[in-house]
Amino acid sequence: MKKLALHWQILIGMALGVVFALILSNFEWGADFIGDWIKPFGTIFINSLKLIAVPLILASLIKGVSDLKDISKLSQMGVRTIGTYVITTIIAVSIGLTVVNVVKPGSTISEETREELVANYGGEADLKRQDAEKQKNAGPLQALVDIVPSNIVGASSNNANMLQVIFFAIFFGIGLILIPEKTAEPVKAFFDGFNEVILKMIDIIMLAAPYGVFALLAALVVESPSADLFAALAMYALCVISGLLLMIGVYILIVWIFTKRSPKFFLNGISPAQLLAFSTSSSAATLPVTMERVEEHLGVEREVSSFVLPIGATINMDGTSLYQAVAAVFIAQAFGMDLSFATQLGIIATATLASIGSAAVPGAGMVMLVIVLAQAGIPEAGLALIFAIDRPLDMCRTTVNVTGDASVSMLVAKAVGKLRDQPLVKNWDDNYKK
Ligand code: ASP
């Protein structure tokens, strides 16, 4: 019997998770049952993905950088990668601004709903504000200081320090290029083998993906707030989602134009990572799967994927920046403010920077939204308006974030001649069967 493709298995797992939770929420004990007996499996699944992230970045980036054999190639690729990331982010913010200005979802919010939302979510919004406050108080160069760890073991002990691990790996890779080849060889071979093992572990974890997403979505359904509030925010949510869909269209188009890969090829290759991004709301947790899919199913060679993707997971968040633009203007509209053209241009700049600064974890985009609001002079209390619907939108924007990273990696790979015509698909039991 032909095996069902992974993305279908994951989709079925997601759908069953939702249906299961909807059925169980009719019973008084349903939510507790899911919290106690189902949700932990989702947590285990996410943990196992996060577990892989640091060793994967270390091994693949060290190997990838050292394979470039030449530091000028590295800087060329770096400039190309960052440049493309910034351009896609600016496109995303502009799409968001256009949609929200045309649809004007904020004007559909009644005074009454606004007050209700502020009363319900004011407290939670305050917590986000405090988180943002910490970041705002830092000096202008703090972001740069934060990239350089003072201790590599310390840096690797926290997934939030991904940029520090990336820094170490690139630095180590450069060292490896500069030492005599004979001495470098065993080190490279070690990291190569290490990387293969990690990729195999991802294959094994992915066998559990349909069950993992079942648990994650079931838990989300029983924890989500009431449907009435969702309805009040429907127009806003629709703006974010249609902007995000347009952005996916942009990726498909640029991949098609610049690499001649069909939409079907691209989406088939990347969809399991997209579905995981949707289910986990974290591009960092999805990173191992994104890397595996991009290398083995989209044909990007490791030298490029190992460099472009970990950096992308931390700094390239097109979905987040698009959402921040829509949310900021929506809040302004709901408070009856008219934003000038100059303020909206300011939003393009701050949303681009804020998305770069957002951590790749659930809800991070909302914390950084505070900074976009503050810059544009929009009341930060407005966060409470969009709180109720943030999680589902987080799921959607994370999907776009991951898709963006994957498409940019294909563009960069094509530009530097590292895009394979035929991807080398590897299954978890390839060697085992023989
Ligand atoms: N959850 C998003 C991510 O990990 C970040 C955000 O927008 O909150 O990509």
pLDDT band at residue 4 under the 50/70/90 scheme: confident
Phi, psi of 281 (to 5 degrees): 55, 30
Higher-scoring residue by pLDDT: 16, 303:
16
**101 contacts: CB under 8 Å, gap ≥ 6:** 329, 344
Is residue 162 within 8 A of residue 310, CB to CB? The reply is: yes
Contact between 128 and 366 (Cβ < 8 Å): yes
Q: Contact at 8 Å (CB) between 402 and 274?
A: yes
Residue 25, classed as helix, strand or coil, is: coil
Helix (H/G/I), strand (E/B), else coil: 384:
helix
The b/e string for 1-16 (b: 16+ C-beta within 10 A; e otherwise) is eeeeebbebbbebbeb
pLDDT in tens, 291-324: 999 999 999 999 899 999 999 998 899 999 999 9
pTM of the full structure: 0.89
Percentage of residues of the chain with pLDDT beyond 90: 60
Q: In testing the pocket of ligand 1, which one of 274, 367, 398 has its CB within 8 Å of the most ligand atoms?
A: 398
Quick: pLDDT tens for 377-434. Answer: 998 888 888 988 899 999 999 999 999 999 999 999 999 999 998 888 887 777 776 5
Q: How far is the CA of 1 from the centre of ligand 1 (A)?
A: 38
Instruction: Write b or e for each residue in 68-83: b if 16 or more Cβ atoms lie within 10 A of its Cβ, otherwise e.
Output: beeeeebeebeebbbe
At 389 the pLDDT is 87
Whole-number pLDDT of residue 229: 62
pLDDT band (50, 70, 90) for residue 110: confident
Higher pLDDT: 223 or 280? It is 280
Q: 365: CA distance to ligand 1 center in Å?
A: 5
Ligand 1 atom showing the smallest separation from residue 367 Cα = 8
3-state helix, strand, coil in the chain (%, to 5): 80, 0, 15
Tell me what pLDDT residue 2 has: 65
Nearest Cα to Cα of residue 22 among 13, 32, 31 = 31
Region 124-133 average pLDDT = 74
Q: Find, among 17, 1, 431, 423, the residue nearest to 221 by Cα.
A: 17
pLDDT mean over 228-244? 85
CB of 316 closer than 6 A to ligand 1?
no
Higher per-residue pLDDT: 286 or 146: 286
Ligand 1 center to 175 CA (angstroms): 33
**CB distance 128 to ligand 1 below 6 Å:** no
CA of 276 to the centre of ligand 1 (A): 13
209-223 and 263-280 helices, crossing angle to 10° = 50
* Ligand 1 atom with minimal separation from the 319 CA: 7
Name residue 35's beta-bridge partners. Answer: none
The reported pLDDT for the residue numbered 232 is 67
Residue 249: what pLDDT?
A: 98
- 286 ligand 1 Cβ < 6 A: no
Q: Residue 154 and residue 360: Cα distance in Å, rounded?
A: 19
What is the CA(322)–ligand 1 centre distance, in A?
12
| β-bridge mates for residue 419, sequence order | 300
pLDDT band of 214, cuts 50, 70, 90: very high
Dihedral of CA atoms 159, 400, 60, 203 in degrees, nearest 10, equals 90
pLDDT of the residue at 144:
83
**Can you tell me the distance from the alpha carbon of 78 to that of 86, in angstroms, rounded to the nearest whole number?**
12
CB of 97 shorter than 6 A to ligand 1: no
If you average pLDDT over residues 338-361, what whole number do you get?
A: 89
Q: Are 90 and 348 in contact (CB under 8 A)?
A: yes
pLDDT > 80? residue 171: yes
What is the model's pLDDT at position 228? 62
What does the pLDDT look like over 257-294, one tens digit per residue? 999 999 999 999 999 999 999 999 999 999 999 999 99
| Percent of the chain whose pLDDT exceeds 70 | 97
Q: Coil, strand or helix: which one is 300? A: strand
- The span from the CA of 239 to the CA of 327, in Å, is 9
CA distances from 415 to 77, 196, 265, 395, 399 (A): 9, 26, 19, 31, 25
pLDDT at 101: 95
Query: Three-state DSSP class for 312?
Result: helix
